[in-house]
Amino acid sequence: MSGRAKPRYDKDGLTVHSDPNSLRRVTKALRGSGRRVTLVPTMGALHEGHRELMRRARSIPGSTTVVSLFVNPRQFGPTEDFDRYPRAFDADVEMCREEGVELVFAPDVDTMYPPGFATSIDPGPLGGELEGAVRPGHFAGMLTVVNKLFAIVAPDVAFFGEKDYQQLTLIRRMVRDLDIDVHIVGVPTVREEDGLARSSRNAYLDDVGRRASIAISAALAAGQYAGEQGPAAVVAAARGVLEAEAALDVEYVELRDPELGPTPEIGPARLLIAARAGKTRLIDNAAVSVVRRETGLSG
């Protein structure tokens, strides 16, 4: 394997690959034998939301599932938490094994971005809005690594959580625009009992921030309920819940169409929220049905 690390074989049939060519040979052979290949891209620090992605991937008849574990430095800004991002490789592999995953891809940074690497995927105008306005370069880095994973694994189906809805939207657009032969499945957000969206960054929350974070899902619910009163009421209802929680610093509350274009006057929409609880930045979103037209939107 040209000096690359050999695959690590774990119990119950799980194999950990760090070399792209090694994994590529395996998935090519699987497809040649008539198996379908499903992919769950992650940055590790796996939680119940990732379990649901794995279960959905494993539910595809006649398929073999690949889970990638790679903390991608190119989607972290200079002031963001790349070094602090939680890493739990052994626990992550164990969760994959528990869920019946057959293949884990865990490359290092130099493998994914060797010396001289200079190519990047341009996310287009949407990449500079919402999360992109707060995190310049984030979506270019995200799309670049996802594109590389698609090239290495060549999956038939790839699964992404709806919690990162802008990410999901941009990946779908990239696949469509670049004619990539993979079906993208968005999986509904997995939540704690009190409504908080599962996220690896929840581990950063202190007690005050954890209590305050409940207001985010409550704000989404308020916005959904206000859909009968028009789009401006949706945003106002959500913002009112958030601003009542003093421990939250609200970054944005926006209502967009399902493709994250302009706010719709009526019909299906997506309500998106970003807020900070102390030093921890949280995002969430929910589908909203806007029943009544209204002018004078604010957000």
Burial letters 14-39, b for 16+ CB under 10 A, else e: bbbbbbbebbbebbeebeeeeeebbb
DSSP string for residues in 129-144:
STHHHHSTTHHHHHHH
In this chain, the answer to whether the domains covering 8-187 and 200-290 adopt an identical fold is no
Domain boundaries, the chain: 8-187, 200-290
State the fold for domain 200-290: Pantoate--beta-alanine Ligase; Chain: A,domain 2 (3.30.1300)
Homologous superfamily assigned to 8-187: HUPs (3.40.50.620)
pTM of the model: 0.93
- Is 50 noted as a catalytic residue in this protein? yes
* Residue 127 DSSP code: G
- pLDDT per residue over 221-253, tens digit each? 999 999 999 999 999 999 999 999 999 999 999
* Residue 194 DSSP code: T
The C-alpha atoms of residue 225 and residue 220 are separated, in whole angstroms, by 9
- pLDDT per residue over 6-48, tens digit each? 777 776 789 999 999 999 999 999 999 999 999 999 999 999 9
Point out the catalytic residue in the list 17, 47, 50, 138. Answer: 50
pLDDT, averaged per 10 consecutive residues of the chain (299 residues), comes to 63 90 97 97 95 98 97 86 84 96 97 97 98 95 98 98 98 98 97 94 93 98 97 98 97 98 96 96 97 60
Ordered strands of the 267-277 beta sheet: 248-256, 267-277, 280-290
> Where does 178-269 have alpha helices with state H?
207-225, 231-243
